Amino acid sequence: MTVPLLGVYDFTVSAADGRDYALAGLRGNVSLIVNTASRCGFTPQYRELNLLHERHYDAGLRVLAFPCNQFGAQEPATDAQIQEFCATEFRIGFPVFARLEVNGPHAHALFRHLKQAQPGLLGTQAIKWNFTKFLVDRAGKVRARYAPATSPLPDTPDADHEFARRAFLQVLGITAGEAELGPSIKALETWRAIPNTTAQDARANLIWVLLN
């Protein structure tokens, strides 16, 4: 008997109050999963993630934050304190789950799956720091991984156009000839029509493709 491969929406995580939260309820949405911390130099990205949530929630984008204390001990607070911080400092509208581990023998199964599905630089799986981001399509497939320094709403585009274009195509599966893409062909035509498309556009276009 063949065991079906797990997708992101097959996992269950813990909400901040300790209750189980089945990600199956998010199936059919596009999700951006982020490991977060309250005392990190990237913590202001909470504000940008919330803007992303507000702009695209109705279209089916779900932002999911998972606090983690494994990087510089920058998330030492309790789950209740983390909830209060996110509410008072950033008025977060998306779910912030219970603190967990993302690396090592006690890494949560969800993050083991995310890292295996989308390794980082040179194929390394380990998450390097807070605010690493994983973009998941409506079926639960991990489609992209973004470094901590990559802003959810970048102000400074990457100048390396050709690298960004290749990464965009690779993430969409164009080179593999996947038949599931549908609207992505329109996005690809748009890309080709804009000579100065950047990595910033790649992120925006990829979210657009997955939401349509």
List residues with catalytic annotation.
40
What values do phi and psi take at 31, rounded to 5? -120, 140
CA distances from 142 to 118, 124, 183, 207 (A): 7, 16, 18, 12
Instruction: Specify whether the CB–CB gap between 66 and 100 falls below 8 A.
Output: yes
What values do phi and psi take at 148, rounded to 5? -55, -40
List the structure tokens of 141: 């497939």
